[in-house]
Amino acid sequence: MKKIMYREAIASALAEEMRRDEKVFVMGEDVAITGGVFKATKGLLDEFGPARVRNTPLSEWAIAGVATGAAMCGARPVAEIMHVDFIGCCFDIILNQMSKMCYKTNGKVNVPIVLRTQGGRGRSNGCTQSQSLEALFTQVPGLKVVMPSTPYDAKGLLKTAIRDNNPVVFIEHKGLYQTKGEVPEQEYTIPLGKADIKRYGKDVTIISYSKSVLVALDAAKELEAKGIDVEVLDLRSLVPLDWDAITESVTKTGRVIICHEAAERGGYGAEIAAQIADKLFDELDAPVVRVCGANIPVPNATLPEIESAPTVKKLVDAAMRICKGGARNG
């Protein structure tokens, strides 16, 4: 199978969906001539022209709000917010408009929009361009929240998100755009709300998503050498959440680490931990632990930037700690 980059997977999903449905269009800052600052809309302008690849003024409130207004009429915009950190400039549209429209109108008006954005650290962009803010969105009823970790997932999930009749916040990771992975030539989609086991194991489950999945896979390799067999469960979409996959994995391993780059306090990991404590308490052989971002703004300098996020070492230490009692019997 052909290997392509994550950003190419995004661009090819957009192109395929725009070819399939004329109501699909793209709008955002610098999405046209340059193909976006991360090149994830590269090539679209040439094929679809400026009416459907709409370069906007620097104007987040209008990007989100105008796209929402168009979606309310039946358009299927993919609106881009360059950095998730800029969401503060248009948060009303997410918090009160796109998310509540279907509910408050009793299903009469829905908003089939994809809000594409990206977050995460790793490029020394500092505290206003490195955040992981997914918990702001998972807290808002009416949104779906998707965070792919591989090119394959990014393409299949974005195509599904565009076809979804609800607002989907699709959060990419700036540290993933250049990563490569196998993506089939023939068309495929991936349903929202289906997690994916990126590595099978029997001793401990690392529940993760987005770039932290790659950290978890590296940690799993090290732990293998230490005799600990790690399962890496990639949620892929946070809302809807694949609770069945979590149940199955946790029932098998009895040990859970939740890993995300976002600040630990009040993060989505806290929600997963609470649900596990509530519904799977009897399956646990050790406390649920979190390896997450520090509760500080993301520092710019290289080492603090790295160390304020999950690392292989932190995951290995956590796994060693909760596996002290040895692997599960039976």
Partner 1 sequence: MDYKQLGLTKQELVEMYRMMRLIRVFEENAIAYFKQGIVIGNMHMYIGEEAVATGVCKALTKEDYIASNHRCDGHLIAKGADINAMMAELMGKENGICGGRAGKMHQSAPEVGLLSANGIVGASQTLGTGHALYCSLFAPGRVSVAFFGDGGSNQGAFHESMNMAAVWKLPVIFVCENNHYAISTNVNTATAMGSFYQRAAAYGVPGVRVNGNNAIEVYAAAKQAVERARRGEGPSFIECDTYRLRGHHEGDEQTYRTREEIDEVIKNNDCINNMKKLLVAEFGWSEEEDAAMIKSIEDQVAAAVQFGIEGEPMKVEDMESNLYAE
Q: Please provide the size of the chain in residues.
A: 330
> C-alpha distances in angstroms, 122 versus 133, 153, 173, 219, 313?
15, 21, 10, 18, 17
Nearer to partner 1, 114 or 316 (CB): 114
Output the smallest distance, CB 76 to partner 1, in A. Answer: 10
190 — alpha (psi -120 to 50), left (phi > 0) or beta?
A: beta
Nearer to partner 1, 102 or 157 (CB): 102
Tokens (6 digits) for 114: 């994809």
Output the smallest distance, CB 264 to partner 1, in A. Answer: 28
Nearer to partner 1, 79 or 216 (CB): 79
Nearer to partner 1, 54 or 198 (CB): 54
Output the smallest distance, CB 237 to partner 1, in A. Answer: 13
Residues that bind partner 1 (CB under 8 A): 23, 25, 51-52, 54, 56-57, 59, 61-62, 64-75, 92-93, 96-97, 101-110, 112, 141-142, 144, 165-166
Output the smallest distance, CB 88 to partner 1, in A. Answer: 12
> C-alpha distances in angstroms, 148 versus 70, 109, 238, 279, 314?
26, 28, 10, 26, 22
208 — alpha (psi -120 to 50), left (phi > 0) or beta?
A: beta
Output the smallest distance, CB 159 to partner 1, in A. Answer: 18
For the chain, the C-alpha Rg in angstroms (whole number) is: 20
Preceding peptide of 50 cis, ω within 30°: no
> 3-class SS at 11?
helix
Q: Which residues contact 41 (CB under 8 A, 6 or more apart)?
A: 10, 11, 14, 26, 28, 31, 32, 35, 53, 80
Nearer to partner 1, 102 or 322 (CB): 102
Output the smallest distance, CB 73 to partner 1, in A. Answer: 4
Contact between residue 186 and residue 267 where contact means Cβ atoms under 8 Å apart: no
Nearer to partner 1, 6 or 48 (CB): 48
